[in-house]
Amino acid sequence: MELKEIEKKVRELVPSECLLTKVEAEGLDIVIYLKDINAFYANDQLIKKIAGTIRKRILVKSDPSSLLPVEEASKIIKEVVPAEAGVSQISFNPDFSEVNIEALKPGLVIGKGGATLKSIIQRTHWAPVILRTPTMPSSTIKGIRSSMLKEASSRKKFLTSLGRKICSSLPSASDWVKVTALGGFYEVGRSCALVQTPNSKVLVDCGINPETFEPSKAYPYLNAMNLELDQLDAVVLTHAHMDHCGFIPYLYAYGYEGPVYCTTPTRDLAILLQMDFVAIANKNSQYAPPYGIKDIQKELAHIVTVDYGEVIDITPEIKLTFYNAGHILGSAMVHLHIGDGLHNLVFSGDIKYGFTRLFDQANSSFPRVETLFLDSTYGGRNDIQPNRFEADKKLVELCLATCQRGGKVLIPTFAVGRSQEIMLVLEEYASKNKDFNYPVYLDGMILEASAIHTAYPEYLRHNIQRRILSNDSPFESKIFEPVKKERKEIAEGDPAIIIAPSGMLSGGPSVEYLKLLAEDPKNSLLFVGYQSALSLGRKIQRGMKEVAMVSDDGRATSLKINMQVETVEGYSGHSDRNQLLSLLKNMRPKPEKIFTLHGDETKCEDLSRSIQKLMHIDSRAPMDLDSIRLK
């Protein structure tokens, strides 16, 4: 429905006493501005009637001329909201007629049946936006929320322009759909795919290969799109790992001005990891980073967040829905409904269809699916992970054995997802065994990533969600110690467990600890995640006893690996072979075609052949630069 028609229908439905001033498309929302918002809310069914008529998400706001002055509005909010809500900040956003209320207990700000929220609207005329305060300090969340307010004026212009574009009409209906593999096919890293019709061009993910800064291997084949970046309609991001989000700021550095769609936790984690990537890249004298901090800030101003299960229009002919992927906080499977039933495809992103302590398993039910692009990281015939009970037992036993002989345990992990999973295992054991008296040091971005988890408990398993909401966050256990002293002091100190990024020993704190700990046989190195083919982690995991390193003064040197090296399987955020086949068995409806990606060449091929043989579904393993016509 075009904007003119939407405005006409809204004006027909809104009573004259509400004094409607304008109807705007702001991004995904149709916003109705009124001079008398109380008259509108006198009819409880009115907003439902409007939303049902125009089939769009409706926001009702006061015309700026009728907003109560900030000082008076702030005073009323403090009177209305109970002190137990733990309001930490009230920030006004005049460009959107909104007031952000940050609180430890958002439910108390909303009130029973939304009563408190309604009182704020009616008494101040400001539209409340309720934000959860993380239980741990988070500089990332603080910075993002501050930036969104600071850039409100330019963001308003962007959203208005985007809304008009989405509500525009097409010259003719599309009659074909194709996907071009730009990265992450026949490989792990630099995930990127272009979904294209005669009328729409959408990128799904745009990542880097974290193992290298060499441009030909590190970044997607964007030149194979055969179009300028400003011709893209949208970027859809499955989750915040750098192999999926790490190249998005580059798009803004070189001409893209459109939206990035993702969940809210994905937004926060992506900004955290991208900022860290630039900091690390700037220290590497051989390769300069492909973008800078200003490009990340521009990306942030163009991010549009979407909840699981929310159906939204991202072009006049494509509807997007996110579903839980079970991989990391906010990770999503992407469902695209193209045209009026022309085609439905799902990008699984990275998925976990099995038990984790953090998340419910990946979704397996969709409205319609003709084509599925499937994560194949552990798609090989021998990729069977042990059950989690055995994995937890082995992890704890190895940690205790090392500490009891006077050593230190180094667990290299991804800062997001795997770290929090390992933290939960150790926290649970410590809570049940009071004799566990070894510190667990958290280095790098792990503490910051954990803080972001506490801001979005609704994305976590129910028991973890309940603990966070009850002021008993497992991420704040007394066994965890943020690193506030020299790493050498920790390495030479008492027995301890150290959790540090990066997970593949490709850089960061984990490599610094490796240099300090590797030559002492009392110490242990525990791998708990995927080690890609070219990584230092894979070399050590396969038994290499001496590895090349770069010393602090930049000279090449070698490091002897005398420490105990173990791999504890079962903690991957990816589905193993059995879980992937189980997902396909339970998936409703069954896809007609499956394309495997995000796996080494042999794994993509093996999984594809097995799907064809066992499930009689047309399946292929495309390579980077392949173009696939789906319709």
- Residue 317's region, left for phi above 0, alpha for psi from -120 to 50, else beta, is alpha
Q: How far apart are CA 262 and CA 238, in angstroms?
A: 7
CATH at 207: 3.60.15.10
Are 37 and 74 part of one and the same domain? Answer: no
Question: Tell me, what's the pLDDT at 143?
Answer: 96
Are 372 and 444 part of one and the same domain? Answer: no
Q: What is the block-wise mean pLDDT of the chain (631 residues), using blocks of 10 residues?
A: 91 94 94 94 90 91 95 96 95 96 95 93 96 95 96 96 93 95 95 97 95 84 94 97 96 97 98 91 76 96 97 96 97 97 96 95 97 96 91 95 96 91 95 90 94 96 94 94 93 95 86 94 93 83 88 79 94 94 97 96 96 96 97 88
Are 181 and 318 part of one and the same domain? Answer: yes
Find out whether the peptide bond into 502 is cis, omega within 30 degrees of 0. yes
Question: Tell me, what's the pLDDT at 553?
Answer: 67
Task: Decide: residue 223, CB within 10 A, 0-12 exposed, 13-18 middle, 19+ buried.
Answer: exposed
pLDDT digits (tens, 9 = 90+) for 82-135: 999 999 999 999 999 999 999 999 999 999 999 999 999 999 999 999 999 999
Are 416 and 355 part of one and the same domain? Answer: no
The tokens describing 461, both together, are 């398993």
CATH at 10: 3.30.300.230
Q: Is residue 290 a part of any domain in this protein?
A: yes
Which three-class secondary structure state does DSSP give residue 505?
A: coil
CATH at 523: 3.40.50.10890
Are 360 and 334 part of one and the same domain? Answer: yes
CATH at 105: 3.30.300.20
CB 105 within 8 A of CB 88: no
The C-alpha angle 221, 223, 225, rounded to 5 degrees, equals: 90
CB 518 within 8 A of CB 524: no
Which three-class secondary structure state does DSSP give residue 7?
A: helix
Residues, the chain, total? 631
Helix (H) or strand (E) holding 338: strand 332-338
- Residue 97's region, left for phi above 0, alpha for psi from -120 to 50, else beta, is left
Q: Is residue 117 a part of any domain in this protein?
A: yes
Question: Tell me, what's the pLDDT at 119?
Answer: 94
Are 34 and 83 part of one and the same domain? Answer: no
- Count the neighbouring beta carbons within 10 Å of the beta carbon of residue 460: 21
Are 227 and 357 part of one and the same domain? Answer: yes
Q: Is residue 330 a part of any domain in this protein?
A: yes
Task: Decide: residue 273, CB within 10 A, 0-12 exposed, 13-18 middle, 19+ buried.
Answer: buried
Are 607 and 561 part of one and the same domain? Answer: no
Q: How far apart are CA 508 and CA 502, in angstroms?
A: 6
CB 124 within 8 A of CB 73: yes
Question: Tell me, what's the pLDDT at 281?
Answer: 81
The tokens describing 613, both together, are 């043989």
Helix (H) or strand (E) holding 305: strand 303-305
Q: Is residue 184 a part of any domain in this protein?
A: yes
Q: Is residue 391 a part of any domain in this protein?
A: no
The residue range of the domain holding 11 is 3-65
**Cα dist. 325→181, 207, 453 in Å?**
21, 18, 16
Q: How far apart are CA 225 and CA 202, in angstroms?
A: 11
Question: Tell me, what's the pLDDT at 285?
Answer: 60
User: With the C-alpha atoms ordered 102, 107, 108, 114, is the resulting torsion angle positive or negative?
Assistant: positive
Of 527, 544, 567, the residue that ends a domain is 567
Are 74 and 60 part of one and the same domain? Answer: no
Q: How far apart are CA 21 and CA 72, in angstroms?
A: 24
User: With the C-alpha atoms ordered 58, 59, 64, 65, is the resulting torsion angle positive or negative?
Assistant: positive
User: Can you name the residues that pair with 304 across neighbouring β-strands?
Assistant: 261
pLDDT digits (tens, 9 = 90+) for 241-300: 999 999 999 999 999 999 999 999 999 999 999 998 898 888 766 678 899 999 999 999
Q: Is residue 172 a part of any domain in this protein?
A: no
Question: Tell me, what's the pLDDT at 401?
Answer: 96
Q: Is residue 148 a part of any domain in this protein?
A: no
CB 595 within 8 A of CB 379: no
Of 515, 544, 567, the residue that ends a domain is 567
Are 434 and 356 part of one and the same domain? Answer: no
One-letter identity of residue 161: S
Of 530, 548, 567, the residue that ends a domain is 567
Are 310 and 195 part of one and the same domain? Answer: yes
Are 200 and 280 part of one and the same domain? Answer: yes
Q: How far apart are CA 304 and CA 159, in angstroms?
A: 9
Number of structural domains the chain divides into: 4
**Cα dist. 582→138, 364, 619 in Å?**
38, 10, 16
DSSP label of 34 = E
Q: Is residue 545 a part of any domain in this protein?
A: yes
